[in-house]
Amino acid sequence: MKFKTFAAFVGPSVLMMLLFIAFPLVKVFWQSFNVTQPVYETVEVEKCTPGFLTQICTTEFQTIPQLDDNGDVVTRTTYVGLQSYRNVLEMERFWTAAKAWSWSGIMTIDFWKALRFTLMFTLVTLPLVVGVGLLIALAINNAAAAIRGPVIFVSLLPFIITPVIGALSINWLFRGDGILTALLEHWLDRDLALFAQAWTIELMMMFYRVWHVAPFAAIIFYAGLQTVNQDSLESAIIDGATRWQRLRLIIVPHLMPLIIFVAIIHLMDTYRVFEEIVGFRSQGYVISLQWLTYDFLTPDQAGNRSISRASASAMLTMIGIAVLLVPLLKRTWRDHRGTS
């Protein structure tokens, strides 16, 4: 392929990646080492009480943001090094709690509390999504041709639903007098408050994520099942291999590249979990790293935002994603080198 043709195909994608990924990433990295704050000035303000003959005027000093000639707030950027990362990690409190073997003390620090949930949410849902997705794919593949289309359509419905809407739907089913809560209370003959404890909220959030993402994995695996060598399956059947043996020794090894692909997509997506936090309103019990970044960007009562802390939190989140992806990427690279 000529270079001009290659550039014509690849150039637009590279340009979009630079504009919407690379440049913002460099900006976030720079902001994590710098703090931008408004410049304040102290002015004398005269205040007078209502009235004419009895009017009393007093002067007081107020601190207000300094404005430039265009009426915009004047800001000053200061290099703070790793201070924003220290503020996010709160290592002094972490080591104090760790030396005292106080797990509850560590969980009072927002970053470590968010990291604990993010890692657990990611690593617990990953095998469930792969396993449930594979089961759905096998069910679709073994279904009769007449009903295979409707089965695929029904299986895809959870993935089609917008994530926030899906999370809110599960929330409403279990919250208060929700349908599923009422059924559980009738079955167990006791009152339930599923949103009063952190662990029950986490279970529902994990249930929702598996319910929402497993259809995506199922379609990927179903496509891979169409390329399984039928001669190998027939030979295994003749040799007396059971369904489990055929699945473990023929189908799963054949689907392994697709399993790694689904795992990579799932890890990147769940480590940035945010919709579940909003949909289940779990901020009081459970938070994630992505929600922590959002919280730093939320203006306070004075209208200020902790942009430097949010940038540091975002960079730490990206580092965590990279660490989780290293084993899968190494496996993919070895497979590529082995087949090339």
Partnered with residue 37 across adjacent β-strands are: 76
pLDDT band per the 50, 70, 90 thresholds, residue 77: confident
Taking residues 235-252, report their average pLDDT: 87
Delimit the domains of the chain by residue range: 103-339
Nearest one of 140, 339, 144 to 256, comparing CA atoms? 339
- Where does the chain show beta strands of DSSP type E? 34-38, 40-48, 57-65, 75-79
Kindly report, residue by residue over 169-222, the tens digit of the pLDDT: 888 888 777 788 888 888 888 877 777 788 888 998 999 999 999 999 999 999
pLDDT of 172 reads: 84
Q: Which contiguous run of DSSP H or E holds residue 189?
A: none
Domain 103-339 has CATH 1.10.3720.10: yes
Instruction: Tell me what pLDDT residue 315 has.
Output: 93
| pLDDT the model gives residue 333 | 81
pLDDT band at 340 (very low <50, low <70, confident <90, very high): low
Check: CB of residue 276 under 8 Å from CB of residue 167.
yes
Q: To the nearest whole percent, how much of the chain has pLDDT over 90? A: 29
pLDDT in tens, 93-115: 899 998 888 888 898 899 999 99
Report the pLDDT value the prediction gives residue 40, as an integer from 0 to 100: 78
**Closest alpha carbon to 178 in 198, 157, 193, 165:** 193
Average pLDDT, the chain: 86
Pick from 117-131, 145-159, 257-271: least confident = 145-159
pLDDT digits (tens, 9 = 90+) for 265-302: 999 899 989 988 988 888 888 899 999 999 988 887 76
pLDDT value for 133: 94
User: What pLDDT, on the 0 to 100 scale, is given for residue 58?
Assistant: 78
pLDDT exceeds 90 at position 146: no
CA dist list (Å): 77 to 30, 38, 39, 262, 315:
11, 9, 10, 42, 19
